[in-house]
Chains A and B, each alone.
Chain A
Amino acid sequence: MARFRVCPDSGFYFDRSAESLMKVNAVAGVVFLLIAGLLALGVILTRWQEVHLLPADLFYQVLTAHGINALIFWVIFFEMAVLYFASSTLLRSRLAAPGWAWAGFALMIIGAVMNNVAVLQGNSSVMMTSYVPMQAAPHFYLGLILFAVGALIGCFVFLGTLVLAKDDKTYDGSIPLVTFGALTACIIAIFTIASGAIILFPTFLWSIGYINHIDAEMYRIIWWALGHSSQQINVAAHVSIWYLITGILFGARPMSEKVSRFAFLLYIFFLQLASAHHILVDPGVSSEWKIFNTSYAMYLAVLASMIHGLTVPGAMEVAQRSKGYTKGLFEWLRKAPWGNPVFSGFFFALIIFGFIGGITGVVMGTEQINLIIHNTIYVPAHFHATVAVGTTLTFMALTYLLIPVLFRRALFLPWMAKLQPYVFSLGMTIMILFLLGAGTLGVSRRHWDMDFTGAALSFEYPGTAYMMMAVGGIGGVLGVLGGAMFLIVTVGSLLFGKKLEPSAGLFQGFCGIPLADSVYNVEQPPRLERAEPIEHDHSGGFEAPGTFVLALALLVCFVVYYAINWDYLSSVWPIG
């Protein structure tokens, strides 16, 4: 029986099992994004001091659930869909062990629901980090462990599919760059999940009374190998998707595939070591450990991100220039399809990730200037630039691409889809920039009341800090509105979108049930041929001068901001 279908619009080949798994993982991810988004509103409207919506206990409960649903469940479910797409679809291969992949998915669902129930019951408001000696209910930890085991199974199904594709000779040469990026994400995920198991299993035993003590410092070090590395999975995954989107929208080829692969290799070597920046003010570890892991190793990972930041728009510029958009430095960018949410979502994600997330990440990873902003609201501002915009907006852009291709439905309310990346990016950028400002003024993260009402040791923030939190709150509400627009378009597309294939019903969309048998009419797709080498024009001059100017602008912003932070450090902590 034939097991593949070919998408008439994109030419992608979908293995029946892999297609179902991609759909259910993507749908599950979007459900957890919905939960995270609703909870985000509670967090924002409480930190906006003039509104101060929730009482303290409810605030910490909501913040815990928001963090875990957004940073763990939403992104990792979606990443499972990306892994199956990058292995099975891009390599034109059947999926290895689909039964195991379904078992992994079931474990992830059980774990995610169990963890949410634990938080909802009200005795597990321990934040995403669940630092000991704060103790959550046992099923809080058990839920995370089950989720992690399920995700680990998904990673090994991905690796198994790579082996299968190689054995079946479904492709020629090396695996495509996008699949290589997904492999990078998978490798980081395996380290992340293993670290989670190492620390969460004893913590679970501690919660049920089998272990009487977990060392707080030991917990923090190992937990952050889970907590921060889980966000590095996102980085590798969304960068891979950037290459995919530029390839599909513009027919762009990487400027140098060797350099791009080398940048992913730098991620494999060094990206996970950046977890150490969370431990920069902990007294239990040496400066050597801190400085090696952040100021040496992390910078090599930053170098990799800068390479991707140059080559992704550079490839797009080269492709646009070859189509005749050669006027001035930026005609290629002006004439880009700004009304297509796949493009606008991807490009805003790239810019905000690089300019805000990247630069603030380096500041946070520098031991000395980290002191200014450690554990302030600056930290959530940074990771909302990297994860909530860099990753989430990229995944949103990919979803707009996949609804017709994978789900075989036309987009519902296309005008709303067109506007959505603008509303989401604008709101999030306002929120991020003002929270960065408030954090620089010392406003704490994870803090219910910046007035310190009734506190034994009070503290008075400057009025500017209140203003910045308020404007940040307005931006956050706008960001939530942008998130709601995404959910209306995606859920609406599966419910009411025009069927591009008659058998694409509700169950096919939401439950991953395959389309009609007659659609799967390909026994084995033709072998994926190696792309012809790119002919480089050696006539002199830059191939992508506009991108080079953008890169210089990033460099100038970085140098100025970095210098300002050192200057600020000297004023907040005067010596002599």
Chain B
Amino acid sequence: MSEENNLPKPERIPFFQRMLDNPFLLLFIGVAMPTVFYTLWGVMEVATLPIAK
């Protein structure tokens, strides 16, 4: 019991670093951001333009 208490606690990895260490989360962010703010928003604006008569 006392030996267990003497073991160094595993280093706690901060949330931000865990996020940066996850390539697939970064991939999701890196694709979702421009898809929403650039592509979808832009396409919706063009799609809702009134058609000239």
Chain B interface mostly: helix
Whether B39 contacts A221 by the Cβ 8 Å rule is yes
| Contact pattern, B 4-26, Cβ under 8 Å of A = 1, otherwise 0 | 00000000000001001101101
| Contact pattern, A 280-310, Cβ under 8 Å of B = 1, otherwise 0 | 0000111001001100010000000000000
Given A159-B27, A187-B31, A190-B27, A292 contacting B37 (CB threshold 8 A): yes
Whether B46 contacts A217 by the Cβ 8 Å rule is yes
- Give B49's nearest chain A residue, CB to CB: A284
Q: How far is the CA of A54 from the CA of B36 in the complex (A)?
A: 43
Task: Answer yes or no: A430 CB below 8 A from chain B CBs.
Answer: no
B-chain residues with CB within 8 Å of residue A289 when the two chains form the complex: 41-42, 45
B-chain residues with CB within 8 Å of residue A191 when the two chains form the complex: 30-31, 34-35
Chain B: residues with Cβ within 8 Å of the partner, total of: 23
Q: How far is the CA of A229 from the CA of B35 in the complex (A)?
A: 12
Interface-central residue, B26, B29, B49, by most chain A CB under 10 Å: B26
A13-21, A64-72, A261-269, A517-525 - interface stretch: A261-269
Whether A183 contacts B45 by the Cβ 8 Å rule is no
Q: Nearest chain B CB to A295's CB is how many angstroms away?
A: 13
Task: Answer yes or no: A194 CB below 8 A from chain B CBs.
Answer: yes
Q: How far is the CA of A273 from the CA of B41 in the complex (A)?
A: 11
Chain A: residues with Cβ within 8 Å of the partner, total of: 38
Task: Answer yes or no: A351 CB below 8 A from chain B CBs.
Answer: no
Whether B26 contacts A175 by the Cβ 8 Å rule is no
Task: Answer yes or no: A532 CB below 8 A from chain B CBs.
Answer: no
Task: Answer yes or no: A349 CB below 8 A from chain B CBs.
Answer: no
A-chain residues with CB within 8 Å of residue B31 when the two chains form the complex: 187, 190-191, 194
Task: Answer yes or no: A7 CB below 8 A from chain B CBs.
Answer: no
Q: Nearest chain A CB to B23's CB is how many angstroms away?
A: 5
Q: Nearest chain B CB to A519's CB is how many angstroms away?
A: 31
Task: Answer yes or no: B1 CB below 8 A from chain A CBs.
Answer: no
Q: Nearest chain B CB to A509's CB is how many angstroms away?
A: 32
Interface-central residue, B17, B30, B37, by most chain A CB under 10 Å: B30
| Contact pattern, A 217-257, Cβ under 8 Å of B = 1, otherwise 0 | 11001100100010000000000000000000000000000
Beyond the given pairs A174-B17, A289-B41, 13 more chain A to chain B contacts, judged by CB atoms under 8 angstroms and listed by A's residue number, are A159-B23, A188-B30, A190-B30, A190-B31, A191-B35, A221-B39, A221-B42, A268-B29, A268-B30, A268-B33, A270-B33, A276-B42, A289-B45
Using a CB–CB cutoff of 8 Å, the interface residues on chain B facing chain A are 17, 20-21, 23-24, 26-27, 29-31, 33-35, 37-39, 41-43, 45-47, 49
9 nearest interchain CB pairs? A187-B30, A272-B34, A268-B30, A221-B42, A285-B45, A191-B31, A217-B46, A284-B46, A187-B27
